[in-house]
Amino acid sequence: MRTLQSFVLILGLSFFVTSFNRIENTNLSHKKTPKTTAASTNLKNDDSEISNDFFKRYADLKKYKSDIMSLYKNRELGTIWYDENEINEFGSVLYERAKNTNDLVIPYQKEIEKLFDSSAQGTISKTDADMLLSSLYIIYAKKNNTDAKKMSYDAMLKDFMNYNTIEESTVATEDNKMLFDQYYKLQTVAKQYTKLDKSNKWKPIVTEMPYKDLRPDAVSNTIAQVRTRLYLLGDLKQDSKSDVYDRELMDAVMKYKVRNGFKPNYILAEEHIKEMNIPISEKVKTLMLNMERCRAISAQIMSNDEYVLVNVPSYELIYVKNGKVQMTSSVFVGSPLTKTTIFNGEIDRIVFSPYWTVPQSIVDNELKLKIAGDPNYLADHNMEIVNGQVRQKPGPGNSLGLVKFMFPNPDDIYMHDTPSKTLFDFEKRTFSHGCINVKMAKELAAAMLKDYPEWTQEKIDSAMEGKTEKSFKLSKKIPIFITYFTSLVNENGEIGFFQDVYEKDQELVTPSVVLN
């Protein structure tokens, strides 16, 4: 849990800590084959039928036509702001930046707002939506004095990656400098790993086949190789070359597992060996990507003395108050098919003993067959149908547990307790439909309510009895930051690498980061 604590000030103050989904550069050697979209090759030419039609219907944008179309020039990727059928994080960043820019006049603002409102009536084609967002970028960029001669997809990437934010932000005060320690810590590790890569000491660990889990007191040539690996990584102070899984190696394995987010035990499974065998050059790339995520922090830092931060790849939550970490908790998040959205928001309500209104998609895809096959299914699962919707009544078996934390967002995700505590024992915890399930949800609620004298521990316990739903509106909203960092350095200077559960690292351009 301590992984997050050394850099919470970095992350908690920023909306722009996000991995930009589907940002691809046509010059990349690892370029993916693009998917065909409605806005594909047609958008590459100024005189294309589709663009002419767009500017006829959105006449107020015609004066920006050449700039807008320059974003699509020489690009085979089609849409810029979409990941399949959803606006990507890059588009969300643009929307938030534009909204927070003073005196920015946005033509067709209502149409653009509808793109981010899941409840909005009517639909806009993906092609129109993408070009509307491109026009928003051009208007935003011109407001911020971006050189009109440099309007292009590559220039847009550089603008959004915000290469100067660290220098701009750390100039203000010495106190701000600590906010960016994580960047420099990652840089230090990247230098060390680059040096290790050049030394040719990093050799693949060759295991016996079929592989069998290695446990304390085991004797194996694999053990000797693991020992060397952990010595190179700094988890062991010396390499005895012994092939016996002894006490010294047990301590090193535990250290390695804890800092990398694995289940804290002494078993060396095949997946752990595979992680150890990732080429050191790939580790350096991961460090550089996460350095870049730090660099994307907004230069306009607003200090928050209280906030919740969730880092998806490490499945961890921290709660900070008065600038200090009050508690940490394990979480599990959305599956790769129902990803937890990377964004920021504000917790405005705590709901005790909540009802769970089952999303219609779950009803259609999962419950209908179960209900059809078992007339007692609803009653057996403490469910009922109200106004045509299936909902689960409050109680200890409720899928939301005994408390949930609400923060308005277009994806309708929230944090909540869960009765499925055993799921927190897994190393890869991607089980939900997008919401964040918190292991210590009850403790988090109590910590948040300490400034509300009426909410005694007895009242909290009573509210969580699971009989009647009780909602409490916070007088002071609590910021929440949901982030995506696949490598972090803890307060002891130990690097941790976490699973790229949503494969966002491979979608990013590896930045040219100076390691000298």
- Secondary element (H or E) of residue 53: helix 49-57
Contact residues for 96 (Cβ-Cβ < 8 A; gap 6+): 15
Kindly report whether the peptide bond that precedes residue 408 is cis, defined as omega within 30 degrees of 0: no
> Helix axis angle, 126-143 relative to 49-57, nearest 10°?
70
Classify residue 401 as left (phi > 0), alpha (psi -120 to 50) or beta: left
Residue 267 CA: distances (Å) to CA of 222, 251, 272, 274: 13, 12, 9, 14
The amino acid that residue 171 corresponds to is: V
- Secondary element (H or E) of residue 307: strand 306-311
Going by DSSP bridges, is the β-strand pair 415-416/403-406 parallel, antiparallel, or unpaired? antiparallel
Active site amino acids: 416, 435
In sequence order, which ranges of 234-315 are alpha helices (DSSP H)? 247-259, 270-276, 280-295
Contact residues for 248 (Cβ-Cβ < 8 A; gap 6+): 236, 240
d(CA 305, CA 321): 6
Contact indicator for 315, 331 with CB cutoff of 8 Å = yes
Contact indicator for 217, 193 with CB cutoff of 8 Å = no
Classify residue 382 as left (phi > 0), alpha (psi -120 to 50) or beta: left
Per-residue exposure over 174-199, b if at least 16 CB sit within 10 Å of its own CB, e if not: eebeebbbbbebbbebbebbbebbee
Q: Which two tokens stand for residue 329?
A: 């908790």
| Cα angle: 56, vertex 60, 61; to 5 degrees | 80
